[in-house]
Amino acid sequence: MANEINILARFTFVERAEACQQALRANGFEVVQLDPITLDAEEPYPVAEWGRFGYQVDAIDDKWTLASAWANATGLIFGEDWLLTAVVEASDAERARKLIRDYGGIL
């Protein structure tokens, strides 16, 4: 039985993730899967900044403590990343990790 391991990496851009997937396959790594990771907050975030006021909503005295001040900041509440999963021989793991890092993957 082969000594295989799973390598997981996160990508911010699908184009880089797809290019990495193709590069891994071109280098002999056949089992490489790409899946979207979607963050979609359905529950509202606390209105007050936790470190400053906890949940004391009536203590808010400036706009920077409101959750709405960060609602439109890219990547804080909504966003999408890509998860690359590669199944590789343990002896080839470092080579696969290097390829993933070269394409911007976060291990």
What share of residues in the chain are helix, strand, coil (percent, to 5)? Answer: 35, 30, 35
CATH level 2 (architecture), domain 4-102:
2-Layer Sandwich (3.30)
Question: Beta-carbon neighbour count of residue 61 at 10 Å?
Answer: 9
User: What pLDDT shows up at residue 80?
Assistant: 77
pTM above 0.85, yes or no: no
What are the pLDDT digits (tens) for 13-52?
A: 999 999 999 999 999 999 999 998 876 555 444 444 444 4
**Mean pLDDT, all residues of the chain:** 75
Exposure class string for 24-56: b at 16+ Cβ within 10 A, else e: beeeebeebeeeeeeeeeeeeeeebbeeebeee
Q: Does residue 68 sit in helix, strand or coil? A: helix
| Residue 95 DSSP one-character state | H
- Select from 6, 1, 2 the least CA-distant residue to 88: 6
- With beta carbons less than 8 A apart as the criterion, state whether 39 and 78 touch: yes
